[in-house]
Amino acid sequence: MKVLVSGGGTGGHIYPAISIIHYIKEKYPESEFLYIGTEKGLESKLVPSQSIPFKTIEIQGFYRSLTLKNLKTMYLFLTSIKQAKRYIKEFQPDIVIGTGGYVCGSVVYAASKLNVPTIIHEQNSVAGMTNKFLSKYVDKVGICFSDATEYFPKEKVALVGNPRAQEVAFVEKKTVLEEYGLSSSKPTIVIFGGSRGAQTINNAMKEALPLFEEKPYQVLYASGTIYFDEFDEYKDLLKRLDNVTVVPYIDNMVDVLVNVEALVGRAGATSMAEITALGLPSILVPSPNVTDDHQTKNAMSLVNKQAALMVKDSELTGKVLVKNIDKLMLDGKFREDMAKASKKEGIPDAMDRLYGLIQELT
């Protein structure tokens, strides 16, 4: 089978695409793959590093305001469709899968016009502009949140979940907390704001540090590389706190998540998939700097099921952070109920479901 995949811009679009490729490759080693992205996007670094054949097209996103820049966007969109059609004719894929980002707009649209079976995958509870446009042309739409159904033709929609979920759902526990100077036998909460960190969470964490002293739980905080140096002035306090560790980045995040009781973080699509696949209680602080405030809507999909707590970014302080962590970590029954609710929202067989759609079309 030949599979063409396209998605770009953010890791939330790229990681599911890579997960799909790895899954199919493991199931059918003889399969061939091609990934189409942009030269400037994150995908140009992530995809080749996975030894996946990679080609690029030039395209940019539409501006939501009236601007002459959209004339260039339209020109690039039309020329990129021609370029995508050339790649598709050369590769002759059996299926084309788009995972979001404006780059897949041209690729998936071109495939539909060439009568190649097509699938798009929407990771968030609010559909992106590209996927809303493509839904008119594709054969199937895979979604991760039932709330997203309203944005697409219902007859095309299938609830499949995020492929990332299946990668983490069956990871076994290891003794990893000791690597961070913590104990595996003590209840632990991990806090992070993404690979680069989040300023609001970082500021709240600095205020919260002295409040964690003598708490019966542990805190592992990944500040992000750009904020880590700010903790130099707290070195003496951190030496005294044997239940708090601050690191710039956690490179074995999945192993850590399997070994903690709860987490504090943003509400991006990948995080949501991991949280629910593992059945983790969480305190979500949606980023305010995303299109259509979709992280708040992602978070509310869990809050409404009593599967998470949510704090607005604008309301997060050190005291608010510790108050919510205490609510979660000092009440075992509350945490256990939330864990069960979180697990119910997970779709641990997401890859199998998505592959089922591929089989339907091929």
Ordered alpha helix ranges (H), 215-349: 235-240, 253-258, 269-278, 294-303, 318-329, 332-345
**Binding site annotation covers 10?**
yes
CA distances to 120, 294, 295, 296 from 290, rounded to whole Å, are 21, 7, 7, 9
Question: What's the Rg (C-alpha) of the chain?
Answer: 21
For tokens 């008119």, the residue is 136
295 in a known ligand binding site? yes
Question: Which tokens is 20 given?
Answer: 């799909």
Residue with token string 């949280």:
275
106 labelled as ligand-binding? no
Can you say whether the dihedral through the CA atoms of 250, 252, 255, 258 is positive or negative? positive
What does the alpha-carbon distance between residue 161 and residue 123 come to, in Å, rounded to a whole number? 8
8 A C-beta contact, residue 277 and residue 302: no
Residue found by looking up tokens 């966007």 in the block: 73
**239 φ/ψ angles, rounded to the nearest 5 degrees:** -65, -35
Q: Which residues are annotated as a binding site?
A: 10-12, 124, 195, 250, 295
Q: Which residues are annotated as a binding site for UDP-N-acetyl-alpha-D-glucosamine?
A: 10-12, 124, 195, 250, 295
